[in-house]
Structure 1
């Protein structure tokens, strides 16, 4: 409970009725919201203490201003943190060095500027070893009331040491379960976006990227605006149901991963925002099962800023069974319909990305047209597809692969503003906290979205 207010838990269905013999799924959103009142009543002292390890790629490809911008962002990060927060800095090429041991931000402001001056680009990219060393600097201080986060920055491919995506993510997932989460920041167009987004998903963190050095600052701003306003951490959801995933009777539509206890791991929740889970159930099975018992109960376990654990639950109510004509006339929940439209658009984007990788431009063209049709009533999607079409016309496969990966990830997994609506205006989005902005071009800063 934060300032006397519990986490707001909602379970919204696309329609409030179901129908037999329809062959459709029952789509619903589980929404976990941190009420806006918490911001007004809270203050910076009430947030969890932060322990951050900034892990910076200093390999040879980090030239042309990229390393210089990463250094500037590192110093800006210090200014955004409380003096009592803690930070370490790790740099890596094929070798790993702890540039700044874990210490209070107050002390780091004295030591880090001088130590960064001597760091120059060199060597190859031992990404896994760099990440692991950063996590090791955090491990001793991980505990109740502390948000421990690795922020991993890279512009290249993991080409030294452990490089297998699944093996790296298994370790990231294990440490996230132990209290050390991971966010990733890609820079440029040469990094492995599949690896960086997979690490962030496994690490219960965020994935950002900046196409140019000028875009990097906003990625750090987004990460810090999220971290410094968190009120609920270690958010996990258990779906209790007789429905069988292996038979397609229930499906989670986001990219979330499960922990060892079969709980889905969701992002931490900042004030004035919500995280959500899209769930599709077999409508036929729902009708059959609700006559004899509970179809779905969602159990939510989470931790507040002080480290206190809470458990919430919500149950799918029994839904009236109506005829096909009445079902088709029933009103849709606009938010549920819109989020599922975005999820389906993300799936199309990922299919398009697979064709971009093999330069099958004819197939990509067809899928972009499909995205244009699906997004015609969603201004954000409309503008996003316009940008993707520009990349298609240029046959810019590197930029398009990055954008399709990060755009689809945001559509499926983003934290949303409490007043998230169909309305979209880029100038208004610039007023939102950086981590909640609905960007058209994920790799560009807000001032250069067209």
Structure 2
């Protein structure tokens, strides 16, 4: 597999020799496409645990569609893959222990026995799934827990910080976690934190009928994963200062930034704001170190790039046209921050203040040249504003999903499926 490409794209392609420069810089990590027809046996084997909430609130269509989607997942795996099925309410049941998927019918038959129960011991369910994966942990495989819940953690360990910390410990051992919230009653803050700490995918599933599409997307994403436990080290040099990272990424124990998985054919964009004193030509401005675990590789993979830019007078720099693509990406990142501020206002009961946050983001995007991305973001923000007064809970969940796009792998249904 070809290494990812690191690219620097400044808003203006120079810095000032005779004054302070505020440098907006887009750091792009791009991964090459996989071959158009990649045989299934070329992807790393999967070691999965599907953890299904069976608490009372899952009764009816939710659990019926959850079972249907689980059957779909079992049918999509191969004998090279392992799958465990775990269900939970206030108690945990290992429905099928981790087993190679040589006979999907065994899993399908067991899945059909899952019925609704009582409360929601979400952490205990996740832990049982992680233990199933850990029993067959293999660094050459993709080891992941898929956690599906429609509710709040209300039995066993319920503290979101402690749960996320335990998930992060598991991630450090090589077991990632995706968190799928179903319907309008789940805790989006907890599930988002689990996906972020778990180096996995966060999904807000508004209709149970979307589950099969979600699982298909998750399998495609796992097959395309070329880097896990991805970190980005940013070091300003020669008096330059790192003022902001607009993605609001979590930091690692070494002070680097945690990125989502690297996937073939996808780009990750990180918005960085640096401040430079009067600059001397040919000085390095910053260095960027990308590190990741590649499936099947021995040890961490690393790539380092350094940034230098031409030096102009402040007047010449101000006269340069900004890069429209960089301005657009920064506006989207700012809009995601505005969504987080709107959530904070909603939590305080300040609906008008939340609306004002979204209106400010819309104004920033509306000032940009017309593009498909800007139009889509403006449409989403308009829809969220329109829904604020009618259904603040649903608005909050949608805002949370969209705000996490800057820092976490987020699944979103096709536009024609979304309200």
- Structure 1's consecutive aligned runs of 4 or more residues displaced over 4 angstroms after TM superposition are 20-24, 242-245, 290-293
The DSSP-based 3-state class of the residue aligned with 1:124 is: coil
Q: TM-score, normalised by structure 1?
A: 0.84
For the aligned residue pairs, the C-alpha RMSD in angstroms reads 2.5
Structure 1 unmatched runs, 5+: 416-433, 436-441
1:182 paired to 2:177: yes
Q: Is the 8 A contact 2:27 2:269 kept in 1?
A: yes
CA distance in 2, matches of 1:168, 1:139: 18
- Residue 125 of structure 1 and its aligned partner are, at CA, apart by 0.7
CA distance in 1, matches of 2:79, 2:219: 15
**Matched residue, 2:302:** 311
Q: Write out per-residue CA displacement over residues 358-405 of structure 1, whole angstroms, 9 at most, x where no aligned residue.
A: 33222233223223212224111111112213312x520110110111
**Matched residue, 2:31:** 34
Flag the 1:372–1:353 CA change in 2: closer, same or farther, 3 A.
same
- Residue 166 of structure 1 and its aligned partner are, at CA, apart by 1.3
CA distance in 2, matches of 1:23, 1:361: 39
**Matched residue, 1:402:** 397
1:94 paired to 2:94: no
CA distance in 2, matches of 1:363, 1:261: 37
Q: Write out per-residue CA displacement over residues 183-209 of structure 1, whole angstroms, 9 at most, x where no aligned residue.
A: 110001111101111111111111011
1:73 paired to 2:63: no
Structure 2 unmatched runs, 5+: 369-373
CA distance in 2, matches of 1:63, 1:42: 39
Q: Is the 8 A contact 2:334 2:361 kept in 1?
A: no
Q: Is the 8 A contact 2:146 2:180 kept in 1?
A: yes
Flag the 1:251–1:371 CA change in 2: closer, same or farther, 3 A.
closer
1:447 paired to 2:416: yes
Q: Write out per-residue CA displacement over residues 15-45 of structure 1, whole angstroms, 9 at most, x where no aligned residue.
A: 2112378776322222221113x32475432
CA distance in 2, matches of 1:64, 1:194: 25
CA distance in 2, matches of 1:49, 1:244: 47
1:348 is aligned, of 338, 341, 344, to 338
- Residue 293 of structure 1 and its aligned partner are, at CA, apart by 5.2
- Residue 170 of structure 1 and its aligned partner are, at CA, apart by 1.2
Q: Is the 8 A contact 2:328 2:365 kept in 1?
A: no
1:413 paired to 2:407: yes
**Matched residue, 2:49:** 53
Flag the 1:11–1:292 CA change in 2: closer, same or farther, 3 A.
closer
1:119 is aligned, of 114, 127, 132, to 114
CA distance in 2, matches of 1:135, 1:373: 44
**Matched residue, 1:297:** 287
Q: Is the 8 A contact 1:243 1:250 kept in 2?
A: no
> For structure 1, which segment, 294-303 or 184-193, has the greater mean C-alpha deviation from structure 2 after superposition?
294-303
Q: Write out per-residue CA displacement over residues 145-195 of structure 1, whole angstroms, 9 at most, x where no aligned residue.
A: 211111111111111111111111111112112111111100011111011
